[in-house]
C-alpha cells in the first residue's frame, strides 16, 4: 500500500479519516485510496458535496475577516484540518501580520502538515488534541504561550461539531471553550445539516458509520443550541452561502442544496 514519506508510520491506511476525506473533496492531495473511495461514494449520493465544502471554506474566510474588522487578533481554530487554500493565518496575517493563530486537530496528518507549513511562522502553533478534552487544548503549553486568553479571541468550530455525538455534549464542549475567553470574544461555527434533505443526510451518516467514523447531520434548531449564551449576530444561523455573502463568491446549487448552517456570535 502507498505510504508517502509525510504519513506517520503508525497511521492505519485502511481506515478513512475525516480530515483526508475533506482534503479530497476540496481537491487536495493528502489522502489515500480508502479516503477517496469514501469521498466518491459520498459524492455519488450527494453530487453537490464538494461545492458545499467550498461554500463552507468561503464562510470561514468571510467570518475571519469579520472578526478582524471587530478588532480580533487571536484565533483558536478547532478542527482546523489539513492546510489548504485560505487558512486562517493567511487571511488574518494578510490583514495584520501580528495576528496569532493556534490550530487544533486530532488527525496526525493534519497536524504534521500544518506544522510543516508553519515552521517559519512564529505567530502560529499547531496542537494535536481531541476537542472533547478541552483541558488538553486550553492548558497546552503551545496555546498558553501563543495566545493571551485574557484578551478577546475568536474560537472557531468550522465543520467539526458534526463529528461529535449528542452524548458527548457538543453544546457543553463549546461552552467550556467560551468560558476560557473573555467578554468581547467571538464564536464562529458551521455545521452539516439534515434539513431540506433528510434522506440524503441519513445516507451520508450511514456511509460514514460503515466506513468507521461517525457524522451527525443536525437541524437548525439543534445547532442553535450550540451558541449558548452568546449573542448570535445578524444574519443569524444561516445557510452557508447566506452569511454576509460577498459579490465575488462563486457558488453552485441553491443554498438549501448545500445543507449546512453557519453563524458568528459575540460573547458579551
Ligand X SMILES: C[S@@+](CC[C@H](N)C(=O)[O-])C[C@H]1O[C@@H](n2cnc3c(N)ncnc32)[C@H](O)[C@@H]1O
Q: In the complex, what is the shortest distance from the CB of residue 86 to ligand X, in angstroms, rounded to a whole number? A: 9
Give 55 or 150: the residue with its C-beta nearer to ligand X. Answer: 55
Is residue 126 a contact point for ligand X (CB under 6 A)?
Answer: no
Closest CB to ligand X: residue number: 81
At what angle are helices 88-95 and 49-69 packed, to 10 degrees?
30
Cβ contact 240:39 at 8 Å? no
Residues in the chain: 268
Cβ proximity to ligand X, 129 vs 181, nearer residue: 129
106 binds ligand X (CB under 6 A): yes
Query: How many CB atoms are closer than 10 A to CB 234?
Result: 9
CA distance 74 to 149: 9
Give whichever of 146 and 164 is closer to ligand X, judged by the CB atom. 164
Is 158 near ligand X (CB under 6 A)? yes
Dihedral angle sign, alpha carbons of residues 199, 201, 203, 209 = negative
Is position 51 an interface residue for ligand X (rule: CB under 6 A)? no
Question: Does 35 interact with ligand X (rule: CB under 6 A)?
Answer: no
What 238-241 contacts at long range (C-beta under 8 Å, 24+ apart), as own/partner pairs, is 238/262, 238/263, 240/52, 240/55, 240/56, 240/58, 240/59, 240/190, 241/55, 241/58, 241/59
Question: Near ligand X by CB under 6 A, which window of 153-161, 169-177, 194-202, 246-254?
Answer: 153-161
Shortest reach from residue 267's CB to ligand X, in Å: 20
Retrieve residue 15's grid coordinates.
481506515
Nearer to ligand X, 216 or 227 (CB): 216
Return d(Cα 133, Cα 70) in angstroms, integer.
29
How far apart are alpha carbons 26 and 115 in whole angstroms?
20
Least CB distance to ligand X at residue 106 (A): 4
Stretch that binds ligand X, among 17-25, 119-127, 223-231, 257-265 (CB under 6 A): 17-25
Least distance from C-beta 268 to ligand X, angstroms? 25
Q: Find the binding residues for ligand X in span 72-91 (CB under 6 A).
A: 79-81
Query: How many residues belong to the site for ligand X (CB under 6 A)?
Result: 21
Q: Which stretch binds ligand X (CB under 6 A): 30-38, 61-69, 101-109, 178-186?
A: 101-109
C-alpha 199: how far from its chain's center? 24
Number of neighbouring beta carbons within 10 Å of residue 190: 27
Residue 191 as a binder of ligand X (CB under 6 A): the answer is no
Interface residue with ligand X among 118, 159, 188, 201 (CB under 6 A) is: 159
**Residues of the shown chain interacting with ligand X in the complex, contacts defined by CB under 6 A:** 18-19, 22, 56-57, 60, 79-81, 104-107, 110, 130-132, 158-160, 163
Amino acid at each position: 500500500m502507498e505510504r508517502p514519506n509525510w504519513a506517520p508510520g503508525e497511521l492505519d491506511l485502511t481506515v478513512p479519516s475525516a480530515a483526508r476525506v475533506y482534503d479530497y473533496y476540496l481537491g487536495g492531495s493528502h489522502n489515500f485510496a480508502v479516503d477517496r473511495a469514501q469521498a466518491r461514494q459520498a459524492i455519488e449520493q450527494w453530487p453537490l458535496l464538494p461545492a458545499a465544502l467550498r461554500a463552507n471554506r468561503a464562510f470561514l474566510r468571510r467570518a475571519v475577516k469579520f472578526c478582524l474588522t471587530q478588532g480580533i487578533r487571536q484565533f483558536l481554530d478547532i478542527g482546523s484540518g489539513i492546510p489548504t487554500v485560505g487558512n486562517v493565518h493567511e487571511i488574518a496575517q494578510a490583514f495584520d501580520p501580528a495576528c496569532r493563530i493556534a490550530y487544533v486537530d486530532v488527525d496526525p496528518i493534519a497536524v504534521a502538515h500544518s506544522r510543516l507549513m508553519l515552521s517559519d511562522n512564529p505567530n502560529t502553533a499547531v496542537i494535536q488534541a481531541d476537542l472533547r478534552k478541552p483541558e488538553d487544548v486550553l492548558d497546552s503549553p503551545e496555546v498558553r504561550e501563543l495566545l493571551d486568553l485574557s484578551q478577546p479571541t475568536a474560537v472557531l468550530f468550522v465543520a467539526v461539531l458534526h463529528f461529535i455525538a449528542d452524548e458527548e455534549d457538543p453544546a457543553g464542549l463549546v461552552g467550556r471553550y467560551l468560558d476560557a475567553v473573555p467578554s468581547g470574544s467571538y464564536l464562529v461555527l458551521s455545521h452539516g445539516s439534515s434539513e431540506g434533505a433528510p434522506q440524503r443526510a441519513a445516507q451520508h451518516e450511514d456511509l460514514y458509520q460503515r466506513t468507521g467514523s461517525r457524522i451527525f447531520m443536525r437541524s437548525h434548531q439543534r445547532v442553535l443550541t450550540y451558541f449558548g449564551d452568546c449573542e448570535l449576530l445578524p444574519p443569524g444561523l444561516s445557510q452557508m452561502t447566506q452569511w454576509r455573502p460577498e459579490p465575488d463568491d462563486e457558488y453552485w446549487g441553491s443554498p438549501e442544496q448545500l445543507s449546512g448552517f453557519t453563524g458568528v456570535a459575540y460573547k458579551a
